[in-house]
Each structure stands twice: as C-alpha cells, then as structure tokens.
Structure 1
C-alpha cells in the first residue's frame, strides 16, 4: 500500500491551489461579468416578447467601472524611500527603483490596483529574467495563493497561476512557486486530482515565495472583498428602475385618443364588399392619427376622449434615490455619479470628497505594504541583502488631489516660514511633481550651490573609517 503524500509536497500544494481556483472562480467570474456590463436581467413577465427583452438589454446602466476607477485613479506609486542605512531617503537611482522602471510599473501598476479593487485581490510575481529582475501582475481569475494565516501573513506558502486553461482535450498548464522552487504544473481540470502532474523547474532565487498578494480589504478570516461585489444588489436595483422607466416611456408616456359609439371604416374589394380576415371578420382600415389631423364623426352619439400618459417623475426620482444610495454605500461623492456640481462651495466640495479620501487612504496603506514586499524581493534577487531586510522602507504615493498651484504654494510657504520645515523637504508636496523632476531639482540645486558641491566632493574623498574606529578619531 503506497504511503500517503505529505501535506506540503508540490503535488499536494498544486491540487490545493487548483481547488481554491475552482471554488472562487464562479464568484470572481460574476464580478467580472458585472464589471464588463453583463448583468442579471431585470424582472419581467414570464411571457415577455422580444421588445421587452430589447428594453431589458438597454436598461443596463453599468456603474461598476466608475466605482473602481474613481479610487483607482488616485493610486499611483511615485517613488520609493529606504528606511535604513545611507539609503534612508528618496532616490531615483536605487536598485529597487531601477527594477520598477525596468518592469514598466509606472504604467502597469494601474492594472494591479484595479484588479485588487475589482475582485478584492490581485497578485504580482517578482523574478529574475535575462533583462534583470522584473515584476508583473497576475490576474485573480487565474491565480491562487495559500497562506498559513491568510488574515495576517503577507508571504504565501505557495502560489499558482494558470498559463493555459484546459481546452480541446489539451491539458491546462500552470506555474507554481513555493518558498524555494518553481514548478511546472499540468492538469486536466481544476477538480480532477488524479491528472495533476508537477515538474520542478528550478530554484527561483528568493528565500520566500516570490508572489505578492494585493488586497483591497482583508478581514480576520482572511476573506478579501473589492468594491464591486457589495454593490451588485444596488446595481440590480438601478437596472430594474431604468427598465421600468423604459417600459413606461415606451408604452405609456403619451396620451391615447379614444372614440366610442363609432365603428371603424373597413377595407372594401372591387365590388364594394368588406374584405374579411381568416376568421370572417371585416378588416378595418388603418387610422392615421397625428398632431395635424382633426377627428370628427357624422353620428351625434360618437364620443371622443383621451387616456392620460403615465407620469415618469416617480421613476426618475426612484432612480435618483438609488444612485444616491450607491454613492453613500460605496463612499463615492454624489457629484461624481450625478454630475451635479454647480453652485457648490469649496467647503461643500471638501466635505463631499472626505469619505472618498479616507477610502483611498485605506487602499494606499494596504497596497503600499504589498509594494514594499515587492521592493524587498527585488532587492534580494538583485543581491542586496541589506535592502532585502529593510522593513522600514515605504512607497511614496503621488498627490493627485485637485489643488491649484497657487493654493499649494501659499500653504507650503507658510509651513516653511511658520514651522521651520526645510524647503527641500516640501518639494514632494508640490502638486503634480514627478520623481524625475525632483531628481532634476536636486542636480540643479547642487550645480547652483558651490558650497554644496565642495562638501559633497570632500565627503566622497574622505577615507572610510576602519571598523571599530569612530569618525572623530
């Protein structure tokens, strides 16, 4: 009788990770469908015709991309600052930041952030390539990770990403990483454990799993949730209201003219006899009624009237209320959703943006910790042991608030004058300034200051003190 496999063998880990993907995929695919505008149909009669179904398709008002993009556009990592050693400053020439630029993460970080906001989590893989250490994003729809404590651990025990799903009788392929090695995984389906094969591809070069999880929110049970899933019921309510509005607008938003006590004219054949339908009834002539025509009848007993149109104000008010609920629950300012920004004072705009600013601050805290782990992995793979153990480093987020340059200049000037904050320490607070611009300002300042140039030259020329010898000695 064969011995049971250890719970930590690569094949067992691969089976567990594929099982996690199979468990989470229906929920993640539903979130993805809502993000793409493929929503559940609104309620309609069981025998609804094609016209009703057409209105149901047109009733979809997809608010999900706006809920993701509004905080996502405020998440932009602009630089990295080491926390220890002589690198305890912002520097664009750090090896970690070179890895960032080599990976083109200025542009690609947005996909990682939006993936975390959409599904609740996304992933990155940091690895050595022929071009150097690089980091790239991994989709939550294809990637899973195992944690000993998913609520508190930032380092997974193992992670797997599907490279090719099973299709046309061809097996699926995946890459898997544990604390030391990378593996190639082949599988027939997510649930067929017997056809999972694992082959070692070699050591990945790090001392821990090189996959990093980016979570928008994690509870104490390790569950991640994004901004889309909690809003699905409200999105369905909005779609239902829009559908009811379209039905009322299509079938009842106009007056209906009526006539009683009058038989409609019928079609006549060449002999003057009524033309009959298949049931033997006379076929009435179409009546052309529009705003240019006047109705009259020769019979004095004929009465004309009208049926009032269905008021649409109630549907519009209901839609407005649902969108306001969406705004409150998602912490999205109402003027972002409703477009009503006229006659708002600066204080009112600030109050409306406060909840969103707090939400973005939460995202920056959680996602920033993940990026800091990516920088430590990049440093380790680059051979920098000191930076690999630097847990005091931090990412710097670009200030994307809508402040005018004049307001910021006035505030920064007052901070420098009243509190004595060094002016160079306030450079990063200038709206819209980039890392490259800050480096250029540093070079220009040194070029214009001969004393600073001399001090740096002497510092570089001074011999390094021997171990155990103080600088004063």
Structure 2
C-alpha cells in the first residue's frame, strides 16, 4: 500500500538509525581483514618503550580465514523447475544471459567476500534503462555500510523495506527507500567544517526530495517486491550474522603481539654480546686516566683483540633463544585453523610427506562449511534471479519457487581423483549431463559439448552410409564434406 511522504521519511529515519548502529562493527571487521589493527595486548610500558615502531606491522591471518571459504563459492548457473518429474529442468539460458550481462561471474565473488568480512552484503536488482523498449535487468552488489533491509515482524525472509544511503561528490548525501509498491528518493546537504565534508552521522540537514520534479522523488515499483536482497554470513535465528573471522580476532591480536615481542628480542639479544676481563686499558700520559675508546672494541674481519695481561679472558654471552616465540606462534595459528575450520595447509609455508588422503581429511571442515553456505546463499541468489525476471515481465519464472542454484564443486581434488569419481558415477547409471556438471563444467560448456557430440555423431553416420554404398572401410569424413553421389544404376 502506498505511503505518504511523512511516512516514507519516518521509515527512512528508522532504517538509518539501525544502519548507523552497525557502522562501528563493520569498520572494525573490515580494518582487521585489511591488516589495519593495533597491538591489542601491548602494555603501556611496551608502547612507551617502542612508540610507533610497530604501528605498520601486521601478520594478518584474518584475510586467509575470510578468503578461504569465499573463494570456493562460485555459482555457475540456475534451474527453474516445472514440478513435473518427467521433465527434469536443464540450466536456464535466460538466467545465464541475465547473469552474464551484469558481470555476475566476477561480482558474485565480491559479494561473497564482502559478506564474509562484514557479515552482510547486498544485491540490488533494477531496470538498466526503464524507458527502453525492451527492459533489461541490472544486478549490482552493494556494500554493508550503505545498505540495510528490514523484514516483516516475525519473518526472516519476507522483506518489508530497504534503504541505500551514499555520499555524492557534490556536497550532498543521497538515499533511496525501497518499498513493495514504490521507491522514495532523498538528498540532504552535508554539514561542512573548513570546507571539508563531515562524516555521514554529522550531516545536519533534513532529507528533502531529490531533484526538482515530483517524479524524481517517488517512483512506482512495478515488481511489487523489495528489489534488494541481503546475503547473510553465518545466519542465526535471533542473533545478528557474524563475519567469518569474528571468533579469531583475539587470537589474531595475540599473534601480532607475540611476533612483535620476537622481533624485539631479536633486536636486543639475538646477536651475542662480547665480554673481556683482565684487560689493561691505555692511559693518558698527562692525566694518567685510563682511555676507554669505543673504537678499540669495534671488531671487524680485519681486526683482532689483544691484551698484554696474561690473565685476560675473552668470551660471548649466549644469544636469545627465539624458538620459544616460534612455538607460541605455531600454537596460535593452530588454534586459528581449528576455530575457523581453515585447513592447516593454508597456514604452512611448505608441505612435506603429506598424503592425498591426509590433505582431503584436513579440508573436510572447510568443505562442509562451504556446502552449508551454498545452501543459504543459493536461496538468496535464486531470489535475485526471480527479481531479474520480474523486471523483464516474466512472472512465470519471477514467481517460480522451484528455482535452484548450480554451484561449482567446493572441494579441491586432483584431476585424477575428480575424473575417477565421475567414471564411478557413470558405472552407476548417472546421466551424461549430470556427470558433466559433477566434472565441473559450466552449463554453457556442457551445451557446447552436447552440440559437438551431435556433430560427431552426424559425421560418423555419414561416414557409415558412405562405406555402405562404396564397400570401403568406414572412416571419418572431414567436417563439412558429404559422401560422393552414386552413379545411376550402382548397386547399394
């Protein structure tokens, strides 16, 4: 049901307050992912002694934890079922065209990474050119610092409203409120200080209609559905979703502090200090005072120490043992691996004497986690494609609940292991097209191979027919050639 401008402003204000509440956590999670983090366990004495020496230092494993699952999540196609078991649906070519037109092969990976880092990412579906004769959908990935989706009370699926807020380069801040029946567009002038634009939370002016015409403020929503979809990482029933590296943030801070301590120890005690006793120092002939010249103790490859006193002794202090730090660092990385279910091989610089079965077992946790993610994210991507078909006016596929996302395999296997598994499935009677999907080919590649198989079969049939007419041994004809015509009266 349409709302009044005052009601639209009120909804915008409520969504904006919740969006502002999320900013601090999102910024923190993103900074840790990028390695912009302080030594969380450094004491005041440590900071006073070393100042900003370690300000730019970061041994960042949070990036590995976030990227490990997101890099394995790759949608390759979509099916839209018919409900008739006798007619199994193939990959939808219309969905593939929409997906490719919006460059979603690449941007879907960005959406997964953003959700992994910031707990949420958003996908907006709207018309590329609403005034065109043939409307085409445009799918864009949106950032969690700019967007928010509200759901119906008691529902985690039915979207009630959505808001996108962003800063322009003209001194204005813009926002768009998405409702089921309409869109409302606002702008406001940002507060400035000494010619600098202040952060969004300090924008003082009220929202006003964007543009000079009424139709630039309110737009009808022909989809009758909120066109923004939220991708949630690690969704919960009541609690908010969390980023992939949330549980390892304290370990990451401890790891950085321990490595900083190791660097400090290597600077102070890793090089053995020398000592000497019973050494007669030279004396000043005038004052009689001993001369303690530092140059006497600066050793080099072309220098040596000598003493006239036969009781003189020289020696070295023991260097600091850094192996204790290495053991602690190894322990923390193992904990990070276990908590995040990231394979230990991701944290190791080299792998020795590890069997293929052991590597597969080490990746079992990550593989299982990725399969669960494809279940939830697949539902979101299916809703995105439904919205895209609604933009094109295709209500059949736009309202089809039997959509399915086709994912590339989430486990890493050698080519030999992969093909061996496919051949065993073939022995069980699995259809050819399903075997090709299990082998990792995209729907486009499978269609292309299917056409090639038909061409090969046609050439083989022509060659067989030619051999039957001439009595020659069957052979493969060159592409584009036909059997030679038979003379009149020839025996067949």
Same fold (TM over 0.5): yes
**Which one of the candidate residues 145, 148, 152 is aligned to 2:149?**
145
Displacement of 1:244 in angstroms is: 0.8
Match of 2:26 among 21, 25, 28: 28
User: Partner of 1:97 in structure 2?
Assistant: 96
Q: For the residues of structure 2 that align with 1:264 and 1:373, how far apart are their CA atoms?
A: 86
Does the CA-based 8 Å contact 2:122-2:143 persist in structure 1? Answer: yes
User: CA-atom RMSD, angstroms?
Assistant: 3.2
Distance 1:45 1:191 in 2: 34
Partner of 1:244: 261
Equivalent in the alignment of 1:443: 451
The corresponding residue for 1:62 is: 60
Residue 423 of structure 1: aligned partner: 432
Q: How does 1:31-430 map to 2 (within 5 A)?
A: 31-44=29-42, 46=44, 52-53=50-51, 55-57=53-55, 59-84=57-82, 89-94=89-94, 96-130=95-129, 132-149=136-153, 152-164=155-167, 170-187=171-188, 188=190, 189-190=200-201, 195-197=206-208, 200-260=217-277, 284-286=293-295, 287-290=297-300, 293-299=303-309, 302-399=312-409, 401-417=411-427, 419-430=428-439
CA distance in 2 between counterparts of 1:315 and 1:413 reads 49
Is the CA contact (8 Å cut-off) linking 1:134 and 1:378 kept in structure 2? yes
2:382, 2:403 within 8 Å by CA — same for their partners in 1?
Answer: yes
TM-score with structure 2 setting the length: 0.79
Q: In structure 2, do the counterparts of structure 1 residues 8 and 314 end up closer, same or farther at CA, with 3 Å as the change threshold?
A: farther
Aligned to 1:457: none
Say whether the 8 Å CA contact 1:83–1:393 is kept in structure 2: yes
Q: Give me the whole-angstrom Cα distance separating, in 2, the residues matched to 1:274 and 1:161.
A: 84
Instruction: Give 1:297 shift.
Output: 2.7
* Cα distance per residue 1:80-117 (max 9 Å; x no partner): 011226885223522x3221111110111111010111
Cα distance, 1:284 vs structure 2: 4.0
CA distance 1:406–1:237, shift in 2 (3 Å): same
| TM-score normalised by L of structure 1 | 0.82
Question: Aligned-pair distance for 1:201?
Answer: 3.5
Q: How far 1:182 sits from its partner (Å)? A: 1.7
Q: In 2 relative to 1, CA 257–401 (structure 1 residues): closer, same or farther, beyond 3 Å?
A: same
Q: Which residue of 1 aligns with 2:470?
A: none
What is the aligned partner in structure 2 of residue 462 from structure 1?
Answer: none
How far, CA to CA, are the matches of 1:362 and 1:18 in structure 2? 31
Residues 152-175 of structure 1: per-residue CA shift (max 9 Å, x gap) = 52342211122216x99x342122
Deviations 1:1-57 (CA, angstroms, capped at 9, x unpaired): xxxx99992111111121112111111111111111111125446466898346524
How many residues are paired up? 433
CA contact (8 A) 1:59 1:240 kept: no
> Would the aligned equivalents of 2:367 and 2:411 in 1 still touch at CA under 8 Å?
no
Deviation, 1:203, is 1.7
C-alpha separation in 2, matches of 1:155 and 1:291: 78
| Contact in 2 for aligned 1:376/1:387 (Cα 8 Å) | yes
Query: Residue deviations 1:417-472, cap 9 Å, x none?
Result: 2x3222233121114x222211112323444557xxxxxxxxxxxxxxxxxxxxxx
In structure 2, relative to structure 1, the CA distance for the partners of 1:198 and 1:366 (3 Å cut) is farther
Secondary structure of 1:289's match?
Answer: coil
CA separation in 2, counterparts of 1:7 and 1:41? 49
Secondary structure of residue in 1 paired with 2:305? coil
SS in 1 for 2:378: helix
Q: Separation in 2 of the partners of 1:142 and 1:294?
A: 68
**Distance across 2 between alignment mates of 1:348 and 1:118:** 29
For the 8 Å contact 1:6–1:12, the answer to whether it is kept is no
Say which SS state the counterpart of residue 339 (structure 1) adopts.
coil
Deviation at 1:393, TM superposition (A): 0.8
Give the distance between the partners of 1:177 and 1:49, measured in 2 at CA.
48
Indicate if the aligned counterparts of 2:29 and 2:243 stay in contact, CA closer than 8 A: no
Give the whole-Å Cα distance in 2 for the aligned partners of 1:107 and 1:245. 40
* CA distance in 2: counterparts of 1:103 and 1:155, whole angstroms: 25
Aligned to 1:458: none
Runs of 4+ in 1 over 6 A off after TM superposition: 5-8, 191-194, 271-275
Q: Distance in 2 between matches of 1:306 and 1:398?
A: 61
SS of the residue corresponding to residue 89 of structure 2 reads coil
For 1:265 and 1:133, the matched residues in 2 are separated by 90
**C-alpha separation in 2, matches of 1:45 and 1:265:** 45
